[in-house]
Amino acid sequence: MTPATLFCGRYLVVRRLGSGGTATVFLAEDQTLGRKVAVKRLHGAEVTESTAERLRREARIMASLHHPSLVTVLDMLTEDEDLFLVMEYVPGGTLGDVLRDAPLEPAHVLELLRPVAEALDHAHANGVVHRDVKPTNVLVGDRGAVKLADLGLATAAEITRITPPGSILGTPAYMAPEQAQPVPCTPATDIFALATIAFQGLSGTLPRTGSTALAVLRQATTMPPPDLRERQPGTPAAAAEALSRGMAVEPGERQGSATELLDELETGLGAPERTTAAPVAPVARRRRTPADVLAAADVEPPAPPRRRGRAGRALAVLALLAAAASVAAVVVLARDDGPAAGTGAPAGEATSEATRESTPEATREPTEVPAPATTPRALGPAATVRAFYERAAEDDFAGAWRLAGPRMRAVYGNSRSEFERQLGSLERIEFPELAVETRSGSTATVRVRTVATHTDRVDRCAGTLQATRSGGRWVVEPAGLSCSRGG
């Protein structure tokens, strides 16, 4: 490439700004209008007369979007076998450069991502989904302006098949699970990516890592979203919950807009820490990555403080849940403090109120607290299962009890005091697998694998639980679990 190179008879190359696997970005001079532009050249596009026309239609849509936090798409052209995306030039760096210093102060993360959220909402309101939101597609100008770039590039790539056969379009670490499926992307896809970037900015680590795109997507599909509190101890529970909801497996469980995600996160970060329980400890131990957020390392988070001793029957609940398979076995397991799977929640997706209820005396049956009204932020089936167990693991028995359905409550003789007694020894729980297996109307089957650590043992369970919609929210019911108890 020489300085005299002219793209599409109009854009004179000044210098190369950067390159990636399938594209190179150049600073160029628009010979018609006499202005500097950024030209992204994507190699090997299979451009035909049909796809070229579709590209022109897409370019008109992108060019019609005007927002101060969107990099303006000026043109989309084809020449030979290459695709050219002509964009507004923003001198400066990218959010990827800024995140090299992560973790950042929460206020700084919010300041950087608020314009991105507003830009995404504007695009979504006009029927455009970005599909490849990542730090290097967020430009941070020399004068502090933050702008989302490459809007519409993913659509163009899908139209022209510029990616190699069998490859997945997008950057794996920020891709939503549905991007590996033959389904249309929706605004929820971009919300997932924005939540991932926020997690990275606040923790200095990526929530998921892997050697291939499919490996990372498999984590996002089969494992619960990581809890920010695992990577950044002291994070308010509500903030961790906001990000976990934003990275939920099911698109419908995520926030309704990018701005709503940022609003929830900002509110959560400003929420006071709970004072009625011990400091939040990691619910599940996971790998941490170094500050450059690119390479995984086996660094384990600090061990959580041990909770006060109680009756050693916390996992009896999941043995009881196996009643559908064997009533007699349940009776024996319950009497002998047998295993009860998943009596805690994995990191990240459960709701934790800023103000917890005071736990009533063990000898007095508590008054039932009315369920909260349904809102757009209501938990979905998988999130409800995890919230049920996480609240119990954090001693929020009132919150967990509200998420128990009639059959689940019957397991404990409809007594919350018995529920508290049986769940007293649980210290933490990991969910290697947690996903909605089937869903029909107001009923969903949730497949789980759990590793629950108690004061005196470690129990492992696998199988399914049921979530049913009741009173405008989901509640947890028994289904079929198989458990083993370890020392």
| Contact between 122 and 70 (Cβ < 8 Å) | yes
Q: What is the pLDDT of residue 275?
A: 35
Tokens of 133: 């939101």
User: Sheet harboring 92-94: ordered strands across?
Assistant: 92-94, 138-141, 146-148
Domains of the chain as residue ranges with CATH? 91-270 (1.10.510.10), 316-353+379-486 (3.10.450.50)
- For helices 106-125 and 187-203, angle between their N-to-C axes, nearest 10 degrees: 170
**CA distance readout (Å), 230 to 188, 193, 439:** 25, 20, 30
Average pLDDT rounded to a whole number, residues 440-449: 86
- CB atoms closer than 10 angstroms to residue 363: 6
Res. 241 pLDDT band, cuts 50 70 90: very high
Measured in Å, how far apart are the chain's first and last C-alpha atoms?
Answer: 66
pLDDT higher than threshold 90 for residue 49: no
CA distance 228 to 285: 12
Alpha carbons 189 and 318: distance in angstroms, whole number: 34
CB 280 within 8 A of CB 237: yes
Q: What is the pLDDT of residue 396?
A: 79
Q: How confident is the model at residue 428 (pLDDT cuts 50, 70, 90)?
A: confident
Q: Summarize pLDDT for 170-193 with one digit per residue, the tens.
A: 578 898 988 888 888 899 999 999
Alpha-carbon distance 319 to 459, whole Å? Answer: 10
Q: What is the pLDDT of residues 202-212, one digit of tens each?
A: 999 999 887 77
Provide the pLDDT confidence category of residue 112 given band limits of 50, 70 and 90. very high
DSSP per-residue string spanning 340-384? -S--S--TT-S---SSPPPPPPTTSPPPPPPPPPP-TT---HHHH
Helix axes 258-270, 106-125, angle to 10 degrees: 160
Distance CA 452, CA 214 (A): 28
The fraction of the chain above a pLDDT of 70, given in percent, is 69
* Active-site residue, selected from the candidate residues 132, 150, 227, 459: 132
C-beta of residue 190 within 8 angstroms of C-beta of residue 130: yes
Give whichever of 215-229, 235-249, 275-289, 455-469 has the largest mean pLDDT.
235-249
pLDDT tens column, 460-472: 889 999 989 877 7
Mean of pLDDT values over 275-292: 33
298 as an active site residue: the answer is no
Angle, alpha carbons 301-305-308 (nearest 5°): 155
- Do residues 283 and 305 make contact, with C-beta atoms less than 8 angstroms apart? no
Mean pLDDT taken over the chain = 74
